[in-house]
Amino acid sequence: MEQQKNSRGRILTGDRSTGRLHLGHYVGTLLNRVKLQREYDTFILIADIQGLSTHWEHPEIMPDVIRQVTLDYLAVGIDPEICNICVQSMIPQIAELSVIYGLFTRMNKLRHNPTLKTEAKQYGYMTGDDLMTGFDRLTYGFFGYPISQAADITFVRANLVPVGGDQVPHIELCRDIVGKFNQLYGKGKEIIPLPSALVGDVPRLKGLDGQSSMGKSLGNAIHLSDDDKTIEKTVMKAITDPQKIRKNDPGRPEVCNVFAYHRVFTPPDEVEQIACECRKGTLGCVADKQRLAQVLKDLVRPLRERRAPWEARPDDVIDILLKGTAIARNEGAQTMALVKEAMSIKYW
Ligand code: TRP
């Protein structure tokens, strides 16, 4: 069978549904998705099963989180008329493809994945630096979720995956798996397209507490649905240069986490001025944080405004998910037919 080539490129990307999305998602990947949605066939996957690989004791959070994440998409300008927003657990072909990919993916490929390691530590599944030391805590599902993510990307035969920098090791694994699949079963043909990562061109932001990455539930992130008060509170708690103690001490923007946020969100000419005043000791940290809070409030307000009408129409939001998921399942069925034929396990 001749493989159907998509006339346009195809995007698949997504988010784990463990909480509302935040500014890290916005600059890391959401802006790219909005920008590219008219150029590519776009599939956005709400990865609830991947979310359950850490939250399996609380599956009851999923209906609300899925709704919130969908609202986040609509708020940033994902257009449901042209993008397919779909729900992972409602697409059985992803599970099927994960099992197949697991057949030929070696354990050591997973064991050395830096993102998996970081998360395993965050969730307390291990303390050392080797995933093997966590084997009595780590579940098979969590350890193997990057395989399932390769299935997420390829069940629609995607070419491009807009993601934040932390996801690059997962895309590399996916490319590895696709390469191996095609080599094993393609007889010289590309059955599954080799996808590429597209990483947002902003430096990785830490959480506003300066301690760790922005967490969906660590209280150190600005969420896309936060109100002005919450934004102010989170920013005012932020840590700046620890050596700048009094208002008029000269500061070091290059070590200040609040300044890292200015770099990303504040207009460039103001950023220079802030750096200069901070170094001279004429800008205190409180005033500096108030300035950042203002910038972030101005950024989030229009998102909240775009979210509100959808929030008032929950049935329309569900319809968007049902429609996107049906289209995705149909693509998944076509992919599985290609996969099974290539593997000669399409029997009767
Ligand atoms: N692992 C991603 C995250 O933590 C979410 C995700 C699941 C994803 N499946 C995907 C991202 C497929 C890109 C492509 O945010």
Give domain limits for the chain.
Answer: 10-206+313-343, 228-306
Q: Ligand 1 centre from 14 Cα, in Å?
A: 5
Cβ-based neighbours of 163, under 8 Å, separated by 6 or more: 13, 28, 29, 170, 171, 197, 198, 199
The stretch 199-214 carries a mean pLDDT of 82
What's the confidence (pLDDT) of residue 164?
A: 86
Q: Which atom of ligand 1 is nearest to the CA of 16?
A: 5
Query: Are 53 and 18 a contacting pair, CB within 8 Å?
Result: no
Q: Is the CB of 45 under 6 A from ligand 1?
A: yes
Residue 218: band (very low, low, confident or very high) from pLDDT cuts 50, 70, 90: low
The stretch 108-136 carries a mean pLDDT of 95
Residue 6: pLDDT over 90: no
Structure tokens at 281: 């000791």
DSSP reduced 3-state for 144: coil
Cβ-based neighbours of 240, under 8 Å, separated by 6 or more: 251, 256, 257, 258, 259, 285, 288, 289
Residue 2: pLDDT over 70: no
Task: Give the residue carrying structure tokens 């354990």.
Answer: 107
Of the candidates 331, 273, 308, the one whose C-alpha atom is nearest the C-alpha of residue 41 is: 331
- Per CATH, the number for 10-206+313-343 is 3.40.50.620
What's the confidence (pLDDT) of residue 216?
A: 55
Q: Is the CB of 48 under 6 A from ligand 1?
A: no
Q: Is the CB of 167 under 6 A from ligand 1?
A: yes
One-letter identity of residue 337? A
Cβ-based neighbours of 15, under 8 Å, separated by 6 or more: 21, 25, 45, 46, 47, 69
Q: Which CATH number fits domain 228-306: 1.10.390.10, 1.10.580.10, 1.10.240.10, 3.30.800.10?
A: 1.10.240.10
Of the candidates 9, 2, 1, 321, the one whose C-alpha atom is nearest the C-alpha of residue 193 is: 9
Looking at the chain, which runs of residues are DSSP E strands? 10-16, 41-47, 83-87, 160-163, 196-199
Query: Are 213 and 257 a contacting pair, CB within 8 Å?
Result: no
The stretch 236-260 carries a mean pLDDT of 93
**Mean model confidence pLDDT for the chain:** 94
What's the confidence (pLDDT) of residue 289?
A: 97
Q: Ligand 1 centre from 110 Cα, in Å?
A: 16
Share of the chain above pLDDT 90, in %: 89
Distance between CA atoms of residues 303 and 225, nearest Å: 7
What's the confidence (pLDDT) of residue 214?
A: 79
Write the pLDDT tens digit of every residue in 21-78.
999 999 989 999 999 999 999 999 999 999 999 999 999 999 999 999 999 999 999 9
Structure tokens at 120: 């395993």
Taking CA atoms only, the protein residue closest to ligand 1 atom 9 is: 149
Of the candidates 275, 314, 241, the one whose C-alpha atom is nearest the C-alpha of residue 63 is: 314
Neighbours of 191 (CB within 10 A): 21
Q: Is the CB of 15 under 6 A from ligand 1?
A: yes
Residue 13: band (very low, low, confident or very high) from pLDDT cuts 50, 70, 90: very high
Contacts 24+ apart (CB under 8 A), 116-120: 116/143, 116/145, 116/146, 116/169, 118/166, 118/213, 119/54
| DSSP string for 52-81 | HHHHTT-GGGHHHHHHHHHHHHHHHT--TT
Distance between CA atoms of residues 149 and 146, nearest Å: 5
pTM: 0.94
